Structure 1
Amino acid sequence: MSARYLPGADLAADLAAGAGPSAKARVLLAAARGLRLAPLYVAAVVGISIGIDRLSGPQVRTQIVAANSTNVANLEQHQVWTLFTSAFVLSGPIEPVQVVTLLLLTGAAELVWGRRRLVEVFLLTHVIASCLVYAVLQIGLRHGWLGREVARAADVGTSYGAHAVAAALACSLPVRARRVLVPAVLVLVVLPFADARTFTSLGHLLSTLIGLLAGWQLRHRPLAGRLRRPGAQRTDRPALYTFGTARQAQDALVLVLHLREQQLIRLDDAVVAWSDAGSGAGRPYRMHELQTRDLGVLDGALAGAAWGIVIGTFAGWPITGLTVGAAVAAAVAGIHDAGLSDAVVEQAARGVPAGGAVLVLLTSPADQPRITAALSRAGGVPRDPAG
C-alpha cells in the first residue's frame, strides 16, 4: 500500500499544528491520559522487582530468576509458561533509567499503534525471540559447540520486547526519520553481537529484526491478522469509489485508514486497484493492487515460521516447527484469499477508465455514508458494485 500511510499520523498532525512547545506538550498530555496498558505493564514489572527485593534476599531472587528463565533447561522440561513470565522478571534490582525508558517506549507505541498492536509487537516478539534463542542454543549444545552451563543460564527481562518496540517505532516513522533511526537501532544491536556473541546479544539482534518486520507490516498491511466480526461476510457489502488517478485513490485509502484509527468506522478490508487497459494486439490486460489485509506468500512464510517455532518449542522441536510452519503458512497464503476476493477487486478495476483507479472497501453499511462524505471531498465518486 501507499508508503504515505503512517500509524498514529493523527497524533503527529496535532503535534505539528501546536504553536510552540507548550501547545505541543498539552497535545501529548491529552493523548497520554488515554494510556492504560503501558503504565500497567511497567507498574507490574516495577512492583514485582521491588517485591522480590523487599520480601526476599539475593538467594530467593536467583531462584525466581532461574524458575522463570527461557533457557534450554526449562524449555526442554516443557516449562513453557516461562515464555511469558520471563517478561515480568528482572535478573537484578530495577534502575530508574530502565523504568523511564521502558515507559517511554511502550507508552509511545500505545499512542501510535493502540493497545492490541503493542501487545502483538512486545509480547509476541519476546516469545518468538526467546524461542529462536532456545533453538540456536539447543543446536549448539547438541553438537558440542557450547558448554552445558549455557543450558541453565538466566534469560529474563524486558529487553527483547523493548528492542522490538524501538525497532518497530523507528520503522513506523516518516521516511526522513526512518533513514536515521532504522540504521541506528541496527547498529546498537549488531555491534554488541559482533563483539561478544552471547545469547543475550543474539536475542537483542533477533528481536530488533522482528521489530523492523512488524513496523514494516504496520505500514503496509495495517489490517492483516485482524479477525472479522461474526456475520461480516453475510452483512457487509463492498463499497466502490472511483478516482482520476491511482495516487488519489491511495491518498483516499490513507484517509479511510485514519478514520478507522479514530474508531469512527469499522473496516474489514481495503484495496486500491487500477489497470493497464491493453490497447491493440500484443498488450495484455494487467491489474495492480495495493492490499491492506491479504498476506502474500512471503508474509505467510514469515508469520508461519514465527508461530511454528513457538508451537515447536512446546513440543521440544523448535527448528522443525519453524520449517513446517513456514511451508504450510506460505502455501495457505498463496491459496487463501482473505477479505475482499480477487474476483470482486478485478471486476471493479475493469470498470475504471484507463488512468483511473478504484478504492474497494469492505465495511459495515451503517458506516458507508460517513465514508462517502469523507471520500467525496477527496475526489472519490461512489459507484454501485453491481454496475
Structure 2
Amino acid sequence: MLPEPDHAPTHISNAVRLTAALVPARYLPGADLAADLATAHGPAARTRVLLTAVARLRLAPLYVSTVLGVGLALDHLAGPRTRATIVAAHSTNVANLAQHRIWTLFTSVFVLGEPIGPLTVLPLLLLTGAAELLWGWRRLAEVFLLTHVIASCLVYTVLQEGLRRQWFGPAVVHAADVGTSYGAHAVAAALACSLPARARRVVVPAVLVLVLLPFADARTFTSLGHLLSTLIGLLAGWQLRHRPLAGRLRRPGTLRADRPVVYAFDTAGRAREALVTVLHLGEQRLIRLDDAVVAWSDALGGRPGRPYRLHDLETRDLGVADGALAGAAWGVVIGTLAGWPAFGLAAGAVTAAAVAGVHDAGLSDASIEQAIQSVPAGHAVLVLLTRPADRPRLSHALEGSGAVRLPATA
C-alpha cells in the first residue's frame, strides 16, 4: 500500500499524470505547458494559459531589452567612428582574445555589428521567450551564454591555426565578431530537440541544412560559428531530454542525509512514465529532486554468480562520451584564457572523459543494483533521491501508475 499523502494537492498529480500520458516514455522539457494547452477548451482558454505563462518570463525580456538599449544608443548617440571603436573593443576576434581580453566573450553578446531594427529584436524575443517558457530561465542562460562563449573560443582556435598555416589573410585578425547569432542558433537547435519525436525528425535535419548550406557556400568564420553553435545546441537539447539533472549542484551531504526512495513497477514502461511524472514535479519546483534512475533486469538463463542483466536509465550521471564533450567545451574556454585553446580542448576532453568513467555521480551503482535485486526479473524500479518531506507528494503523484513503494534499505 502507498502511504497516505499529507500535503499534496490533488490537482498537481492530475496535471502531471496528463503530462506523462502525452509523452509516456520520454521526458520533454516544458511538456507541462503543452498539457495545459491540451486541456484548455477554446481559443480564449488557450490564450489565458499562454498569457499566464508569458507573464512569468524574466530573462528573455531583460536580455532583449538590454540588446535593444545598447543598439539604440550606438545607432543614435554614437558617431560612426565611435561605434566602430566600441564594436572592435567588444569583438571576440583574434586580436582581442590573443591579448587576453576575456570580457569580450561576455560583452559581445550585447553588441550588434549592424543597426538594430524590428527584424532583429522581435525574432530574438520570440526565440528566447519560447525557450524560457519551455526550459526556465536558468537553462536558457546556460544554453545561450555558454554556447556563445564556447563557440567563440572554438572559432578563435580555428582562426589561430588557420593564420599559422596561412589559410586566412591578416584582415581576419581584426574582423568584427559581435552579436546574438551564436546563442540564437544554439537555442533554436536545442528547441528543435525539445519537440516531440515526430516533429523532431523533420525540424532537426532542417536546422542542420540551414547552417550547412551557408558554410559550404561561403566558409567564413561567421558561418563556421553558426555551424558550431547549432551542433552545440543540438547536443544541449539532447542533454536536456536524456540527462535533465546533469550538472546541477547538489546540497552537501545529500547522499548521507537522505536515503533513496524506491518504487517498484511491473513493467519498465510504467517506470519510465513515472520518471516523466517525477521530473516534471521537479521542473515545477514542487519537489527537490537530486537524482532519479529507472532500472530493470532480464534473466540470463541462470549464469553463475549473476543470473540477470541490469539496464538503467540515468538522469544525472554522465557517461564517458558526455564527459569528453563537456571537458572539451570547458577545456577550450580555459585554454583560451591561458593562450593555448587547442591544448585546452584536448586536455579537457581526455581528463573529463577519464573522470566520468570512474566517478559515479548521484545515486551509486551499488544502490541501484540493490534495488533491482529486490524485485523479480522483468520488473522495474524507480529510485529517487529527494528530501523526506517530498515523499508524500511523490506517492500521491504516482497514484494509479502501478507504483509500489518498497521498504527503506540501507
Asked if these proteins are the same fold (TM beyond 0.5), I'd say yes
For 1:7 and 1:101, the matched residues in 2 are separated by 21
Superposed counterparts of 1:289-328, under 5 Å:
289-328=312-351
Contact residue 3 and residue 219 of structure 1 kept, 8 A = no
User: Aligned residue for 2:394?
Assistant: 371
Q: CA deviation at 1:284?
A: 4.7
- Name the SS of the counterpart of 1:249 in structure 2: helix
Q: CA deviation at 1:337?
A: 0.4
Aligned partner letter, 1:377: G
For 1:158 and 1:297, the matched residues in 2 are separated by 31
| Cα distance change, pair 339–281 in 1 and its aligned pair in 2 (3 A) | closer
Contact residue 3 and residue 220 of structure 1 kept, 8 A = no
Comparing 31-40 with 232-241, greater Cα deviation is found at 232-241
User: Aligned residue for 1:113?
Assistant: 135
User: Aligned residue for 1:64?
Assistant: 86
Q: Are 1:287 and 2:310 an aligned pair?
A: yes
Q: Deviations over 1:84-118 (max 9, x none)?
A: 00000000211101111000110011110011100
Contact residue 348 and residue 385 of structure 1 kept, 8 A = no
User: Aligned residue for 2:38?
Assistant: 16
Contact residue 75 and residue 116 of structure 2 kept, 8 A = no
Q: Are 1:272 and 2:309 an aligned pair?
A: no
Runs of 4+ in structure 1 deviating by more than 6 angstroms, as ranges, are none
Structure having greater relative contact order (Cα 8 Å, sep ≥ 6): 2
Q: What number of residue pairs does the alignment pair up?
A: 387
Aligned partner letter, 1:346: E
Aligned partner letter, 1:227: L
- Name the SS of the counterpart of 2:149 in structure 1: helix
For 2:302 and 2:392, the matched residues in 1 are separated by 40
Superposed counterparts of 1:163-312, under 5 Å:
163-281=185-303, 284-312=307-335
Q: Are 1:161 and 2:147 an aligned pair?
A: no
- Name the SS of the counterpart of 1:273 in structure 2: strand
What RMSD in Å do the two structures reach over aligned CA positions?
1.4
Which of 352, 360, 378 is residue 329 of structure 1 equivalent to?
352
User: Aligned residue for 1:146?
Assistant: 168
Q: Deviations over 1:316-355 (max 9, x none)?
A: 1111000000000000000000000000001101111121
Contact residue 308 and residue 377 of structure 2 kept, 8 A = no
For 1:230 and 1:347, the matched residues in 2 are separated by 24
For 2:34 and 2:258, the matched residues in 1 are separated by 32
| Cα distance change, pair 281–74 in 1 and its aligned pair in 2 (3 A) | closer
For 1:18 and 1:179, the matched residues in 2 are separated by 27
Contact residue 334 and residue 344 of structure 2 kept, 8 A = yes
For 1:3 and 1:73, the matched residues in 2 are separated by 49
User: Aligned residue for 2:12?
Assistant: none
For 2:319 and 2:124, the matched residues in 1 are separated by 33
Q: CA deviation at 1:20?
A: 3.0
Q: CA deviation at 1:378?
A: 1.2
Which structure 2 residue ranges, 5 or more long, are not aligned? 1-23
Aligned partner letter, 2:392: P
Contact residue 155 and residue 221 of structure 2 kept, 8 A = yes
Q: CA deviation at 1:55?
A: 1.6
For 1:224 and 1:41, the matched residues in 2 are separated by 25
For 1:56 and 1:291, the matched residues in 2 are separated by 53
For 2:127 and 2:357, the matched residues in 1 are separated by 35
For 1:385 and 1:138, the matched residues in 2 are separated by 57
- Name the SS of the counterpart of 2:236 in structure 1: helix
Which of 50, 57, 76 is residue 54 of structure 1 equivalent to?
76
Aligned partner letter, 1:293: R
Q: Deviations over 1:190-216 (max 9, x none)?
A: 101111100000000000000000000
Contact residue 275 and residue 288 of structure 1 kept, 8 A = yes
- Name the SS of the counterpart of 2:166 in structure 1: coil
Aligned partner letter, 1:229: R
Which of 26, 33, 48 is residue 26 of structure 1 equivalent to?
48
User: Aligned residue for 2:5?
Assistant: none
User: Aligned residue for 1:355?
Assistant: 378
User: Aligned residue for 1:132?
Assistant: 154
User: Aligned residue for 1:341?
Assistant: 364
For 2:368 and 2:105, the matched residues in 1 are separated by 41
Q: CA deviation at 1:24?
A: 1.8
Comparing 46-55 with 16-25, greater Cα deviation is found at 16-25
Q: CA deviation at 1:52?
A: 1.5
TM-score (norm: length of structure 1):
0.97
Q: CA deviation at 1:23?
A: 2.3
Which structure 1 residue ranges, 5 or more long, are not aligned? none
Contact residue 25 and residue 269 of structure 2 kept, 8 A = no
For 2:313 and 2:136, the matched residues in 1 are separated by 23
Q: CA deviation at 1:183?
A: 1.1
Which of 99, 122, 130 is residue 100 of structure 1 equivalent to?
122
Q: Deviations over 1:146-171 (max 9, x none)?
A: 10110110000000000000000000
Aligned partner letter, 2:379: G
Q: CA deviation at 1:58?
A: 1.2
Aligned partner letter, 2:341: P
- Name the SS of the counterpart of 2:399 in structure 1: helix
Q: Deviations over 1:272-303 (max 9, x none)?
A: 01112333357852100000000000000000
Aligned partner letter, 2:228: L
Contact residue 147 and residue 233 of structure 2 kept, 8 A = yes
